[in-house]
Amino acid sequence: MTGRLAQFTPPQPAPPEGWRPAWNISPGRRLLILRKTSGSMECVDVLWNLTPDWLRDLSRASFSANAEHLAERPMFRQALAERRCLIPVDGFFLWKLQGQRKQPWYLRRRNGPMAIAALWERYRLDDGTEWDSCALITAPAKGLAARLGSRMPVTLNSGEQAVWLASATAVNALQPLLLNAESRVEMMYPVATSVGNPNAEGAQCCAPSGQIVLASEPA
C-alpha cells in the first residue's frame, strides 16, 4: 500500500504561497492537489485523508480508495461524480516484505513528475471552519510496482488526466479509465529504512540505498 509520497518539484499552476517541498509525506499531513474550478486549473493545499461533509467519526477518514469500488462506496461515490483531482508527485514509496522486515522502495519516472488520480472533499463545521481533503486512488499493480506488492497508485498520462478532470466525462467511463491506465513508473530503487519514520525528511529520503531497477529490465 502507498502510504508515502514525495512532492518537491513545484507543479503548474504554481502552488499556494507558503508551500514547502516535502520528500516523505504521510497520510494525515498536507499535500498539493490539482483540480478544475470554473474551467480553470488550480493548485491547492489539502489534508491527505478524505473527510466527506457527512462524516462525523473522523477516524474513519481514508487516505486511499480502490478503483474497483469507487462507484459503490458512500465514502467515494459523490466525489467520484463531482470532485476529481490529481496529486502531482515526484515519486511514491512502496514497501516489500524481505524476511522479517519491510524494505521501502521509491518509484518514479526517469525524468519529470507523475500525476496520481485522486478525489477531494470539503468538510464544514458548525462554527464555519472548513477544510479540503483528498484520497489517492489505487488499482492492481502493474509493471515495476507488481514486483513489490498487489496495489499501486493510479498514475495517468496527459490525455487520461484531461478525461479524468473533465466534468463532461460520464461516471461509468471512469472506472475503465483507472483500471486500464498503464503505470507511469519507469524506475525504482530501495531507500533507507528511516523513511518509515513519518518525521524523516529531506532529499535523502529519495536517495538510492541499493541497485536501481529500470522498467525495461526483466524481473
Q: 3-state DSSP call for residue 53?
A: coil
Q: How many whole angstroms separate alpha carbon 142 and alpha carbon 107?
A: 12
pLDDT for 216 = 80
Confidence of residue 217 (pLDDT cuts 50, 70, 90): low
What type of residue sits at position 130?
Answer: E
**Helix spans in 83-146 (H):** none
pLDDT for 3 = 86
Q: What is the DSSP letter of 96?
A: E
What type of residue sits at position 96?
Answer: K
What are 58's three cell numbers? 473522523
Q: 3-state DSSP call for residue 12?
A: coil
- For 142-181, what is each residue's pLDDT tens digit? 999 999 999 999 999 999 999 999 999 999 999 999 999 9
pLDDT for 1 = 59
pTM of the full predicted structure?
0.96
- Model confidence at 38: pLDDT above 90: no
- Angle subtended at Cα 51 by Cα 127 and Cα 107, rounded to the nearest 5 degrees: 140
- For 87-130, what is each residue's pLDDT tens digit? 999 999 999 988 889 999 999 999 999 999 999 999 998 888 89
Q: What percent of the chain is modeled with pLDDT above 70?
A: 98
**Helix spans in 89-219 (H):** 158-165, 174-180
> Which residue ranges form the domains of the chain, and what is each CATH number?
4-214 (3.90.1680.10)
Q: Where are the beta strands (DSSP E) in the chain?
A: 4-7, 22-25, 30-37, 40-48, 64-66, 84-89, 91-98, 101-108, 114-124, 130-140, 151-153, 187-190, 213-214
- For 180-203, what is each residue's pLDDT tens digit? 999 999 999 999 999 999 999 999
Burial 155-177 (b: 16+ CB within 10 A, else e): bbeeebbeebbeeeeeeeebbeb
Confidence of residue 218 (pLDDT cuts 50, 70, 90): low
Work out the average pLDDT over 200-210: 97
